[in-house]
Copies of this chain bind each other. A is one copy, B any other.
Amino acid sequence: MSKEIPYKIYLEEQEMPKEWYNVRADMKKKPAPLINPGTRQSMSVQDLEPVFCKELCEQELNNDDAFIEIPAEIREFYKMYRPSPLVRAYCLEKALGTPAHIYYKFEGNNTSGSHKLNSAIAQAYYAKKQGLKGVTTETGAGQWGTALSMACSYFDLDCQVYMVKCSYEQKPFRREVMRTYGAKVTPSPSMETEIGRKMNADFPGTTGSLGCAISEAVEAATKQEGYRYVLGSVLNQVLLHQSVIGLETKTALDKYGIKPDMIIGCAGGGSNLGGLISPFVGEKLRGEADYQIIAVEPASCPSLTRGSYVYDFCDTGRVCPLAKMYTLGSSFIPSANHAGGLRYHGMSPVISELYDQGLIEARSVEQTAVFEAAQKFARVEGILPAPESSHAIRVAIDEALKCKETGEAKTIVFGLTGTGYFDMYAYGAYNDGTMSDYIPTDEEIAASLAMVPQA
C-alpha cells in the first residue's frame, strides 16, 4: 500500500454517491415477486399503491435499472450526517494481535443511532413529493421510528408511529426522542384502530407485538386521506436506498487501493446487509471480482441458517402480501430473552435469493458471545455498539483470530450499523452476568413453518 491509511476515511462531498445501486438489475435470476395472498397473482404498482407511495412502488418492482438517481433534496439531507466514516480498526487489530486488516463502516453517528435514516429520508421525500399529509409506521425497539420521525420533521410531514406497548413503556427515552421530532407515538394495541380495539378486547392487558403494530399502522394509513404506510427493512426499495452504505464503502476502499477479502454484516430483515454488500455482490454477479460475504444472524432467530425458502406472510398479522424468502414462519416469535433487533421471522427477498444462489453465506451466533464481542470492541475502539451491529463484530473478531492462527493478513470489512445507547438494559444484564442464550428447538421451528401458507 503506497498511501498511509488513516484511522478514518471520510469521502469529500463530491465523492458521495449521486445514484443508488439496484443489485436486482445484475441478478440473472431475480428475487421472486410479491404475490397477493388471495389471487396468488404478482403484485403490480396499482396493487401496492393504496398502501405505499407511488414512486416507492415503482422502485419496489424495478428489477431492470442498475442505477436510480438520488434526488437532490435527499442528497442535501445525506450531507448533514453522511458520508459516514470507514474506520480502520487499528486498536482492535492490536488488541487481538492479528495480522488481519479490519475496517468497519460506521452508520451510528446520527441521532437515530443507525443506518435506518438512509431509507427513512428517501421514503419521506417521496411521500412529500406525492403531496401526502403524512405516513404511518410501526416500531419495536425504536430505531426505525426515530429515523422516520427525523425524516418527517425535515419535510414537515405528519408522522404516526405505532410502538409496541411493552417497548413504549420500557423505552421511554426512545419515545421522547420521537416526540422531540414531532411524531405522534401511540402504544400498540391502541383504541384508535379496529384491529387495536379488537386486540384489546380479546386480550385485555396485552403488551402488544410487532405483528399487531404493523396491522394498526397499515389500517391507519389506508383509513386516513393523504396517508401511506412505510417500512424500514425487508422491502426491495429499502435495500436500494441502503446501497448508499456500500457505495460509499467501495469508493473509500478504492481511494486507498484496498481490496477486501471478506465482507460481514448483521442480518435481521436485511436492510443494512443488503445495502452494504450490494455493489460488491454486483461485481461478483458481473464476474469482475470475488469476495467472501457473510450474513450474521442471532441463533435465537435463525431465518437463513435454519429457515425454509418459501412464500410466507411478511407480517404476523397476515395483512401484507406474501414474499418468497427464507423464513421461520410468520408465527415465529423469538424468545423474550433475545435483546435488540434482528427479531424478524423472515429475510429480505433479495438477500434470500442471493443466499440461495450461493453468493453469500450465513452464520448464526449466540447472544452472550455477541455481547462479549461488543464489550471488547467498545473498550478498544471507543464506540458502544448496538446489539444488532455486534453480531457482525463477533464474526469479524472470530475471523481475525483465525488469521492470527494461520498468519494470513486478510482484509475484513464489516458493517457497524449503530450505537447501543438505548440498549443499556441488555448491557446491564451482560454486566451483571444474568444474560442467557436461547436456541429454538427443531420442533419449535417446524411448528411455525407448518403454518406457512402452501404454494
* A378-B180 contact, Cβ under 8 Å, with A421-B422, A424-B173: yes
Please state if A421 and B10 are interface contacts (CB–CB under 8 Å). no
Please state if A381 and B7 are interface contacts (CB–CB under 8 Å). no
Oligomeric state, in copies: 2
Q: Which residues of B contact A427 (CB under 8 A)?
A: 176-177, 179-180
Q: Which residues of B contact A425 (CB under 8 A)?
A: 176
Q: Which residues of B contact A77 (CB under 8 A)?
A: 382
A378 to B113, CA, bound (A): 14
Interface string of A357-401 (1 = CB under 8 A from B): 000000000000000000100111111100000000000000000
- When C-beta atoms are compared, the residue in chain B nearest to A77 turns out to be B382
Please state if B6 and A177 are interface contacts (CB–CB under 8 Å). no
Please state if B13 and A6 are interface contacts (CB–CB under 8 Å). yes
Please state if B382 and A154 are interface contacts (CB–CB under 8 Å). yes
Q: Which residues of B contact A12 (CB under 8 A)?
A: 6
Please state if B424 and A177 are interface contacts (CB–CB under 8 Å). yes
Interface string of A424-436 (1 = CB under 8 A from B): 1101101100000
Please state if B179 and A431 are interface contacts (CB–CB under 8 Å). yes
**Shortest CB distance A264–B (Å):** 21
- When C-beta atoms are compared, the residue in chain B nearest to A146 turns out to be B384
Flag whether A59 is at the interface (Cβ < 8 A): no
Q: Which residues of B contact A378 (CB under 8 A)?
A: 111, 180-181
Interface string of A1-27 (1 = CB under 8 A from B): 000001110101100000000000000
- When C-beta atoms are compared, the residue in chain B nearest to A149 turns out to be B379
The 8 Å CB contact of A180, one of B79, B153, B419, B431, is: B431
* A383-B111 contact, Cβ under 8 Å, with A7-B13, A176-B427: yes
**Shortest CB distance A40–B (Å):** 43
Flag whether A172 is at the interface (Cβ < 8 A): yes
**Shortest CB distance A417–B (Å):** 15
- When C-beta atoms are compared, the residue in chain B nearest to A182 turns out to be B379
Flag whether A80 is at the interface (Cβ < 8 A): yes
Please state if A79 and B7 are interface contacts (CB–CB under 8 Å). yes
Q: List 30 A-B contacts (CB under 8 A).
A: A6-B13, A6-B79, A7-B13, A7-B79, A8-B79, A80-B91, A80-B382, A81-B382, A110-B382, A110-B383, A111-B419, A150-B382, A172-B424, A172-B428, A173-B421, A173-B424, A176-B424, A176-B427, A176-B428, A177-B424, A177-B427, A179-B427, A179-B428, A180-B375, A180-B378, A180-B379, A180-B384, A181-B378, A181-B379, A182-B379
The residues of A with any CB-CB pair to B shorter than 8 Å are 6-8, 10, 12-13, 77, 79-81, 91, 109-111, 113, 117, 150, 153-154, 172-173, 176-177, 179-182, 375, 378-384, 419, 421-422, 424-425, 427-428, 430-431
